[in-house]
Amino acid sequence: MRRTILAGAFALGLAGPATAQQQPVEIQFWHGLTQPLGGMLEQIAADFNASQNQYRVVASFRGSYPETMVAAIAAFRAGQAPHIVQMFEVGTGTMMAAGRAVKPVHELLAETGVQIPFDDYLPAVRGYYSLRDGRMMSMPFNSSTAVVFYNKDAFRRAGLDPEAFPQTWQALEQAARRLKAAGVECPMTMAWPTWTQVEQFSAIHNIPLATQGNGFGGLNAELRINNPLMVRHLQNLVDWQREGLFRYGGRDGQGDALFPNGTCAIIFGSSGLRARIQREAQFPWGVAMLPYYDGVAGAPINSIIGGASFWAMNRGPNATRSAEENRGIAQFFAWLARPEVVRKWHVETGFLPVRVSVFRALEAEGFYRQNPGADIPINQLLRGGGQMTENSMGIRLGGFVEIRTIIQEEMERAFQGQQNAQQALDNAVQRGNVVLRNFERQNRQ
Amino acid sequence: MQKKVIFRGVALPVALLLPQLVITGIFFFWPAGQAIWSSFLREDAFGLSREFVWFENFADILTDPNYLAVAWNTAIFSAAVAVLAMGVALFLAVQADKAIRGATAYKTLLIWPYAVAPAVAAVLWLFLFHPQIGLFGRALNAAGIAWDYKINGGQAMTLVIIAAAWKQVSYNFIFFLAGLQSIPRNVLEAAAIDGARPTRRFWTIVFPLISPTTFFLLVVNLVYAFFDTFGIIHALTQGGPGLATTTLIYRVYVDGVQNLNFGSSAAQSVILMALVIAMTAVQFRFIERKVHY
């Protein structure tokens, strides 16, 4: 008995100074994912902490994406920024222009000698978060894209083939008419109106959302969404809404609810909606790629991504990080790139497998045969051979949060019949350009 | 006759005033000064570069047609909320003032909504009027009335007005009830003996006698509609559809917190600050003087 106590004391005596020396470096990590996703993300951080004892990632939830963004910016101004912040894709342009507020991932990796195989990342994911020359600015993590979910029962009732979703808008319009004739109260709806009907729409039709390659080429970009194809599409949506073929479901993710409860037969939404549909829908459903207008040269090509990436931040306007802190951030990013982490996140959440090798491995194992439609988002991102154009690489506009709100507002006014599609998009361009010019002026180097 | 107590020396009165002065300075003058200073600046979100632009932020706001539309929304919204909240409260107060059984219970119940947080109140109304999940929203649609406040500006405005007014009815009710109870009974009885019917008694005696209360409540309600309804609008409509339910205070939030345009947002708050100073001045100058207890 005494011996064990002595041995214990001896062991403690030895361990004491050792642990004091290796007090783990704390890495503050702010994220904007609600439950259950937030818990899964925090579990990844906990796994990282358990895998080594040099660094401790402290993950904390800071509200929705926009709230997290605002919190991180306010913290930076106060010299208290987190080491890592999860930023939704809309904030990418703002972060890119943030100068010494952020620590670009390529710099971080070069300084710490940590390797991350970005070659293996999906091109659409890599492109969204890198500079034009390919250097990564942030660490991609949870990515999604827009797809179509449709109610197979409703299709059957309307005499449509439930296994073949219409590929073009023209065919889809006919299908919607038949759904309505068959008594479906709401044939089509959408979530994230700007993202699914303007941003994704422009990308897959290979038309510019803004000049300067959607802003990748510089801060002097101007919106181009009042082009004939975009006008035609919005006018169609407005007309279809009047005819009862289409229903506006509200801003941001509000439209999500209309599909799982069976109200609407078709929804354009985030691929991340899959988990909710799986849980709630009481009917057989299918996934399909976004439709395109027949006759548009070169369409369709790949869609773009949504979701969020992780940014390394400096502590404040006049404070940088120690080499040790930077190493911790880089190590954690490398952990996020591990195939098993990428795979688990994809399988459990429905977000994209950001690494191509993970996708191929799952494909070989038959995962997508057991989960039909789970590969549609990835195949859509690789549509057109995965050769992205400057219109389908992503969007790099400053103040894009505000621009999205503006486009939504102008769309809503069109849906209320206060203006037609041309006027709505002209107004959106004019108001959006004011935002872009202000951003350019505030961030002039 | 006035009695003045005069302190000798300066140290003691200053020491006695100090806590109040410090609190006012830190929590009112300092932030207000910051807002005024920011309203002359343009800076990026991270505060890494700033530019002094004089009155450019103000000029931009005041020439923005959308800002004027929002100001007009605010006028309609505030007037409607004040009239609705005060009208309903006055009606309820008159009813509760009558000798009825269980009057205390009514009074207590009518005061409850005031304790509900604005965002919670908004969620309650959302559950009633949401077109798909709301009790009344579904009933309206089933009855053939196309109710969808997410895409109908008029309906959205109506909904936020009702929700905002409902919150304020309790507060007004308490004041009206107190005002009614302070009216001398013998005046009313004399009028009744002279043959004045209840309606006539209300308009010729009760209403003029509670007019100081009404004026006071009008100012309070307008200030409430201007500044305290952010939570309701945010939870119900987020200012949409279009800009149909965006009020001045909501736009300050959108520009400052969502869009990170601190300069523009600060300039808008300075405009609001001027507005509330003007309203308070009006209240002190013209209304407080007429209140006799």
pLDDT for B162-214, tens place per residue?
A: 999 998 999 999 999 999 988 888 988 999 999 888 889 888 888 888 988 89
Distance of alpha carbon A211 from alpha carbon A429, whole angstroms = 12
Nearest CB among A66, A98, A431 relative to B46 is that of A98
pLDDT at residue number B2: 58
User: Is A38 an interface residue toward B (CB < 8 Å)?
Assistant: no
The topology (CATH level 3) of A23-143+305-365 is D-Maltodextrin-Binding Protein; domain 2 (3.40.190)
State residue A10's pLDDT score: 46
Mutation target vs A (from B34, B43, B46; most A CBs, 10 A cutoff) = B46
pLDDT confidence of A445, banded at 50, 70, 90? low
CATH fold, domain B76-290, is MetI-like fold (1.10.3720)
Confidence of residue B291 (pLDDT cuts 50, 70, 90): low
The β-bridge relationship of strands A25-31 and A55-61 is: parallel
Q: What is the pLDDT of residue B105?
A: 83
More confident residue, A4 or B130: B130
CB–CB of B48 and A317 under 8 A? Answer: yes
Give the model's pLDDT for residue A14.
45
Q: Residue B164's pLDDT is what? A: 92
Residues A312-351 have pLDDT tens digits of: 999 998 888 999 999 999 999 999 999 999 999 998 888 9
Q: Could you tell me what percent of chain A has a pLDDT over 90?
A: 77
Q: For the residues A264-271, what does the mean pLDDT come to? A: 95
CB contact under 8 Å between B44 and A77, yes or no, is: no
Q: CB–CB of B151 and A435 under 8 A?
A: no
Instruction: Note the pLDDT of residue A43.
Output: 95
C-beta atoms of A416 and B153 within 8 A: yes
Closest residue on chain B to A434 (Cα):
B60
- Residue A14 burial by Cβ neighbours in a 10 Å radius (0-12, 13-18, 19+): exposed
pLDDT, mean of residues B143-170: 91
Nearest CA in chain B to A404: B259
- Sorted by where each begins, the domain ranges of chain B are 76-290
**Contacting residues of B for A442, CB less than 8 Å apart:** 42-45, 49, 51
Locate the chain B residue with the closest alpha carbon to A81: B46
Residues of B in contact with A313 (CB under 8 A): none
pLDDT, position A334: 96
Whole-number pLDDT of residue A1 = 44
Class of domain A144-304+389-442: alpha beta
Considering only CB atoms, which chain A residues are within 8 Å of B240? 251, 408-409, 412
Looking at chain A from residue 333 to 392, which residues have their Cβ under 8 Å from any Cβ of chain B? none
Q: The dihedral of CA B139, A285, A307, A309: what is its sign? A: positive
Average pLDDT over chain A reads 91
pLDDT tier at B290, thresholds 50, 70, 90? low
Q: Is A410 on the interface with B (CB under 8 A)?
A: yes
Contact residues on chain B for A76, CB-CB shorter than 8 A: 46-47
B232 contacts B121 by C-beta, under 8 angstroms: yes
Report yes or no: A401 at the B interface, CB cutoff 8 Å. yes
Distance from CA of A97 to the nearest CA of B (A): 9
Residues in chain B closer than 8 A to A250 (CB atoms): 150
Inter-chain Cβ pairs, chain A and chain B, closer than 8 A:
87
| 209-268 of A, contacting B, C-beta below 8 A | 248-251, 254, 257-258, 261, 263
The tens digit of pLDDT for each residue in A27-67 reads 999 999 887 889 999 999 999 999 999 999 999 999 988 88
Q: Which two tokens stand for residue B82?
A: 């004040």
Q: How far apart are CA A290 and CA A90, in angstroms?
A: 21
Q: Which of B48, B240, B254 sits opposite A251 (nearest CB)?
A: B240
CA diameter of chain B: 78
H, E, C per residue of chain B = CCCCCCCCCCHHHHHHHHHHHHHHHHHHHHHHHHHHHHCCEEECCCCCCEEECCCHHHHHHHCCHHHHHHHHHHHHHHHHHHHHHHHHHHHHHHHHHCCCCCHHHHHHHHHHHHHCCHHHHHHHHHHHHCCCCCHHHHHHHHCCCCCCCCCCHHHHHHHHHHHHHHHHHHHHHHHHHHHHHCCCHHHHHHHHHCCCCHHHHHHHHHHHHCHHHHHHHHHHHHHHHHHCCHHHHHHHCCCCCCCCCCCHHHHHHHHHHHCCCHHHHHHHHHHHHHHHHHHHHHHHHHHHHHCCC
In DSSP terms, A248 is beta-bridged to A190
Q: How confident is the model at residue A8 (pLDDT cuts 50, 70, 90)?
A: very low
The mean pLDDT of A146-150, rounded to a whole number, is: 96
Domain-by-domain residue ranges, chain A? 23-143+305-365, 144-304+389-442
Q: Do A317 and B152 touch (CB under 8 A)?
A: no
Q: Which residue of B has its CA nearest to A403?
A: B259
List residues of B whose CB lies inside 8 A of any A CB. 42-49, 51, 66, 132-133, 150-153, 238, 240-243, 254, 257-261
Helix axis angle, A37-51 to A339-349, nearest 10°: 160
- Selected residue of B34, B41, B42, B44 to mutate for chain A interface (largest A Cβ count, 10 A): B44
Helices B65-97 + B153-181 axis angle, to 10: 40
Q: Do A248 and B150 touch (CB under 8 A)?
A: yes
Residue of A54 and A23 predicted with greater confidence: A54
For residue A298, with 0-12 CB atoms within 10 Å meaning exposed, 13-18 middle and 19 or more buried, which class applies?
exposed
- Selected for mutation to probe chain A from B61, B234, B260, B265 (highest A CB count within 10 Å) is B260
Test A76 with B46 for CB contact under 8 angstroms. yes
Distance between CA atoms of residues A208 and A201, nearest Å: 10
| CB-CB under 8 Å, A70 with B257 | yes
pLDDT bucket at B289, cuts 50 / 70 / 90: low
pLDDT at A386: 66
> What φ, ψ does residue A70 adopt, rounded to 5°?
-65, -40
Residues of chain A neighbouring B242 (CB-CB closer than 8 A): 409-410, 412-413, 416, 418
Percent of chain B with pLDDT over 70: 96
Does residue A61 come out as left (phi exceeding 0), alpha (psi in the -120 to 50 range) or beta? beta
Residue from the list A73, A258, A441 with its beta carbon closest to the beta carbon of B45: A73
Mutation target for B interface from A409, A410, A411, A427: give the one with most B CBs within 10 A. Answer: A409
CB-CB contact of A338 with A44 (8 Å): no
